[in-house]
Structure 1
């Protein structure tokens, strides 16, 4: 089946190329193509179209990347995409991906299991930070924390995306995927320095330098460097970050090239952990938001080196090929002391020492061919693509599970760093971690967007064949167990423009995740299940004027579940059913007033669990209601001054499958101000911000590992950005 699919697809591609060549009778390779230097913008990749233009107000873009379909305008795509601009990232003083996405009404920012990794819940499904894509390639940027100096934009593609982007190798992207776009040199000289500070003596400095060279400004260089150091709004926390990134690009007559080389070193000390509440009958009251129960000797260090290369070549005006490659090499080490609460009323609990070291080696790439042809009155934007991904992870740990120490959530007990005891569970050598997992993904995709009625009606058809291979190596023994399977995931989407300002759309698309292996307690121990296919159906409406836009979407997503039945056989059975409605809005309500936000209603139920205590209950950590409303006002009486405010609401959520542990709803308020003034040949931008204005104490999120996370306290930050000319 795989050979037939590949051969058929290649024949279609070759045939369409020949059609395109023959149709282009006016093409003459001896006639040079003039480059307009003014058209060189901050292109995020080696593409002819570059970045989608910013929408009115500059906070989001007019469109975003729909995977292998390329960059699409909002009204022309049968999917829901929001792309947050670098202007918005700077004005909100965002320092990580999570800081940007907390302004998205469809995304709940959470934390991963057992460490300080960011995670993002989209449509009720969690995508971790190591599942984020960089310029279309997965898992290239730092695994746990991605600083904003490394990217130009944050794109959120809501919904499943296996056809568009390939299956996420880390198992995310069921409810949506996140793509970060790298920085490129704009068509003007850029000399920017930013100084910042926040509570508890945290300081940061960043430089952003860019130039274009050549007769037609065809060569571009952009360099970003940053240093963050000091405390945080949480008592006694310390964080230090150093990064450097260089982005290169070349834009020729038919050939376009781009490359990135980056480095980030992130070090956390005495950082507040998640709280485990497994086994409790109720959720403990939230402590003071600035409290820190972490042990002073706990830390987490991560060092990442990464690079990408992308090329695009126009064979004709209608046929373009592209190739991309990316790599990441990472080293991690941490010593943790996570808190487990054993008494909700008093806050009594325990912790134990857990050490971990890890090395990652990622290599990934993509080849593709896209083009346009007409068959009568029907237009075709066709694409074929091949992608490859490999991740090798070396890991070692020391878990001193039986050597626990008493502490308290509200009155933490601090102690000297304990020595790992003889009863600890040891996996491999901490000083030299051994190969633990090798993951390989290969996929081939083919698609066609058909246009009718002068492009008022568009129909997208496509499918991707995904091959998955995972080799796991047992700790200490190195004994290998393997998983290998494949699946074809189709997609269909349609858009109809009712007018130049209104379009309606619908889609059916799937996500794909590698199947689990039966546990040691099952009769079929070690048996690998087929890949899990989640099915999404969505309908929506989009409305845009020149200054204001809004979107309304209804979706359903069914995620397969597993269980060990009464016959003690581990199998796929039941599903999580998520259905929801999303309303988003963006742009300018008046000449001086920008709006950004929306609301999400989500019903996420567990079905076919095989357990009466969980059947029909809500999924862990998923809020029924979530809303964000942000407004920015440019004060007309004072040139250069703008003030903004944001209200964020999340309804109650459950922290366990039986829905007996409930987190209260919460609301936070943020305020900010920006003042731009010209001093000689310099533009000075002063920014100030306060988040969680009323210092609300609240549990912000829960994960499916029985852990909850305390929300951040009131945080005040200021910065000054100077642009030299």
Structure 2
């Protein structure tokens, strides 16, 4: 007798056999089309003579046959070049890994493949791919503050490594990173107190399952030679990843010199089938001298047009930075089940900055400047950072809850030298810069403890999935902030102790499985400013934490092999200034409105595009001064865009050509908006070729950055952000045209 039909599609009638389900069709609950496994099974199981003969006896029974289709072995999207540099997931604080489509935030990333293929060494090389991000180059581009959406960042709160706080204003080598991940805007409910300047997360390279040995030799104009070794694999069940880097030579000016070296190791230690300990340690040294210094100017001086950054005399051979950053961390990960996991981490960092900062103070004519050099920003920061999270999933009736409870925080201690100094070098002009004699440096002496800052946050949250269309995410953190400041005699000069909540809530709607519409509200704490130490009624007082607020509506979707996103947002953050009553207190606001648009992926099989556009209206309100009220924030571009294109040349297998076009619009250059920094466009070109030499994979890369040798101000920023129209804004010149080449061999 015949078998009763199943819910899966029947075999074609000419086969004369009962339907056979494939594993793939079962996984999706049945399909209107025959799966590959079903078609093959039907063809093999139908005896041709029996199927075609009316006189043949019917079988009493047909044995049930189940054909299992091969498991889907397609690798996850992790930012590889062959996947169009796309990623499926991001790790956002205690939420843990989440699909980007399921995150009600604007999140962007640059992977190690893109870092390597564009020969990016520093965050400044990478940040151009984030159209909502900039670097405020206070102290220099390499030690500047990364930020998003036009808000000034904190030196610790907005920057992380593997989810734990690190010192933002020290250089980091991109060669040791798997991903640079950026969450735009507020994230205090997840990470604790922070400025609304976004969260930058440096994700370290991890050990590889297969053996990896790669050596790279590179050249950057005018004469920097760099060698980099990257090795990974498994030894007796222990995973390892080792990176070594050495680079040194003259850069784009004749008096400049850059030296970089890195030693780092990452290790995975299995402690059972469900438990793993991740260990990381690194030392990075970054020394640069002779590059153009900052150009400061008064509030009434017009910012001049940028000049050629290669001119000798804009920088001084003895001025620059010597930095060393030592970082060690450990993270313990345990899976209780498929639905429950826990993570605990600890990081220690010591960052020493020996800065001989060169400042060129422009005079009223906008051409003459007075050069001076200072050691005031020299010092060491010791930082301990922690994180812990418990994540789980529970089901109540037809509703799913993704629960999380976590804690993170840091302890930061600063050490300053007993002596600092400033030396006037002389006068020159932009049209005729000069080299000056090196001053006689003073002995800075030993360091003293200048201050402690402590932050601890506890976060709880739930993502409620009602059905395949609707979900609701809510999270709240409670944070404790305290700290002290000390003078060189060890006397406490100020202290603070505060606490508060930071909530966020998001509503998400998925009209299709490949699209998400979301609305997010966030409210976040940030450490308050300190009043001036003299001249005000409340000298030295540290204000209560500020509270920033954000509303954001966005859409994310995947079309083919391209990820698209757009977001509208409004963010406000307070600031403080001294009012008519001579009291320094919170009484103003920075309010930013913006629209972001992004796309990433393979438009065609051979063409990858990564693009983004940000329109931003950033203004100061309640400044207490009519001249600065409702004016654009200094240094924030009204328009910023970037487009990276990569083309695999079909007639020449292994050859890829790429181009990056970056545009930054005009920026206000002082509080009254009476002078502006002009917009600029840079174009970078590159090529790479993969070949096989004696059984080894060899990749050749070459490129030119700033092809048309554009002169531009890469960073413009105020002395303070409160619109008081006091102090001197500053600007830094961008990098001129540079050439680079490299060869990598994997063995």
TM beyond 0.5: yes
Of 579, 592, 598, 1:565 maps to 579
Q: What CA deviation, in whole Å up to 9, does each residue of 1:246-269 have, x standing for no partner? A: 000134411121010111111112
Q: What is the CA-CA distance between 1:186 and the residue it aligns to?
A: 1.9
Q: Residues 341 and 409 of structure 1 are in contact (CA less than 8 Å); yes or no, is this contact kept in structure 2?
A: no
Residue 96 of structure 1, CA deviation? 1.2
Name the SS of the counterpart of 2:697 in structure 1: strand
Distance in 1 of aligned mates of 2:154 and 2:690: 36
Q: Is the 8 A contact 1:357 1:397 kept in 2?
A: no
Tell me what 2:514 maps to: 501
Q: SS at 2:152's partner residue?
A: strand
Query: Does 1:341 pair with 2:362?
Result: yes
Which of 457, 477, 481 is the equivalent residue of 2:470? 457
Q: Secondary structure at the match of 2:129?
A: coil
Query: Does the Cα contact within 8 Å between 2:596 and 2:615 map onto a contact in 1?
Result: yes
Q: Which runs of 5+ in 1 are unaligned?
A: 1-37, 42-49, 422-428
Structure 1 residue matching 2:604: 3-state secondary structure:
coil
- Is the radius of gyration larger for structure 1 or structure 2? 2
Moved more, 524-533 or 224-233: 524-533
User: What SS does structure 2 have at the residue aligned with 1:89?
Assistant: helix
2:690 matches 1:661: no
Verify: 1:65 aligned to 2:78, yes or no.
Answer: no
Query: How many Å separate the matches in 2 of 1:341 and 1:210?
Result: 51
Conserved? CA contact 1:102–1:109, under 8 Å: no
SS of the counterpart of 1:267? strand
Deviations 1:455-508 (A, max 9, x none): x32211110011111211124563332111111000111221110222101111
> For residue 430 of structure 2, what is the aligned residue in structure 1?
409
* 129 and 466 in structure 1: CA distance in 2 versus 1, 3 angstrom threshold: closer
1:235 Cα deviation (Å)?
A: 3.4
Q: Answer yes or no: is the 8 Å Cα contact 2:185–2:197 preserved in 1.
A: yes
Deviation per CA, 1:80-110, whole angstroms, max 9, x where unpaired? Answer: 1112211111111101122112122222234
Which of 81, 100, 103 does residue 129 from structure 2 map onto? Answer: 103
**Residues 205 and 420 from structure 1, CA distance in 2 versus in 1: closer, same or farther, beyond 3 angstroms?**
closer
Shift in Å, 1:353: 4.2
What's 2:709 paired with? 695
Counterpart for residue 248 of structure 1:
267
1:383-410: CA deviations, max 9, x gaps? 1112231111101265555856223233
Alpha-carbon shift at residue 114 of structure 1 (Å): 6.0
Q: Post-superposition shift, 1:280?
A: 4.2
2:529 to 504, 516, 520: 516
String of CA shifts for 1:269-312, please: whole Å, max 9, x gaps.
22321111124431122111322412222132111211010001
Would you say the 8 A contact 2:451–2:483 is kept in 1?
yes
1:175 and 1:517 mapped to 2: Cα distance? 19
Which blocks of at least 5 consecutive residues in structure 2 are unaligned? 1-71, 720-728
Distance of 1:336 and 1:589 partners within structure 2? 46
User: How big is the shift at 1:356?
Assistant: 5.0
2:108–2:183 Cα contact (<8 Å) kept: yes
Structure-2 residue corresponding to 1:14: none
Match of 2:58 in 1: none
- Picking from 146, 166, 170, the partner of 1:139 is 166
Deviates more, 1:220-229 or 1:537-546: 537-546
Q: Secondary structure at the match of 2:651?
A: coil
Work out which of the residue numbers 367, 381, 393 in structure 1 matches 2:402: 381
1:301-337 Cα distance to aligned partner (Å, 9 max, x none): 1112110100012233322222100001233323233
2:504 to 491, 499, 506: 491
Aligned pairs, how many?
Answer: 663
Distance 1:314 1:116, change over 3 A: closer
Give 1:227-266 correspondences, 5 Å limit. Answer: 227-251=246-270, 252-266=272-286
| 1:54 shift after superposition | 5.1
Higher RCO structure, 1 or 2 (CA under 8 Å, sep 6+): 1
Structure 1 CA distance for aligned equivalents of residues 730 and 210 of structure 2: 48
Deviation at 1:647, TM superposition (A): 1.2
Kindly tell me: are residues 166 and 55 of structure 1, through their superposed partners in 2, closer, same or farther at Cα, counting changes over 3 Å?
Answer: farther
* Larger deviation, residues 439-448 vs 325-334: 325-334
* 1:182 and 2:204 are equivalent in the alignment: yes
Correspondence for 1:34: none
Which of residues 108, 121, 134 in structure 2 aligns to 1:82? Answer: 108
Secondary structure, aligned partner of 1:589: strand
| 1:349-498 map, 5 Å | 349-354=370-375, 356-396=377-417, 398=419, 400-401=421-422, 403=424, 405-419=426-440, 430-454=444-468, 456-476=469-489, 478-498=491-511
CA–CA distance in structure 1, aligned partners of residues 371 and 311 of structure 2: 17
Structure 2 residue aligned with 1:164: 190
2:190 match: secondary structure: helix
Q: Distance in 2 between matches of 1:51 and 1:512?
A: 34
In structure 1, C-alpha distance between the alignment counterparts of 2:374 and 2:475, rounded to whole Å: 50
Partner of 2:146: 120
Which residue is 1:629 aligned to?
643
Alpha-carbon distance, 1:659 to partner: 0.9
Q: What corresponds to 2:288 in structure 1?
A: 268
1:221 corresponds in structure 2 to 240
Distance in 1 separating the partners of 2:706 and 2:349: 35
Measured against aligned partners, the alpha-carbon deviations of 1:174-227 in whole angstroms (never above 9, x if no partner) come to 13111011111222110100000011111100000011234xxx5311100000
> Could you state the TM-score of these two structures normalised by the residue count of structure 1?
0.88
Which deviates more, 400-409 or 530-539? 400-409
Asked if 2 retains the 8 angstrom alpha-carbon contact of 1:491 and 1:507, the reply is yes
**Shift in Å at residue 120 of structure 1?**
2.5
Deviations 1:137-180 (A, max 9, x none): 0116x842111122111101111111122224xxx4x1311101
- Looking at structure 1, the residues matched to 345 and 580 of structure 2 have their Cα atoms a distance apart, in angstroms, of 49
Shift of 1:58: 3.8
**Change in 2 beyond 3 A, CA 1:529/1:195:** same
- Structure 1 position 712 matched with structure 2 position 735: yes
What is the SS of the residue equivalent to 2:83?
coil
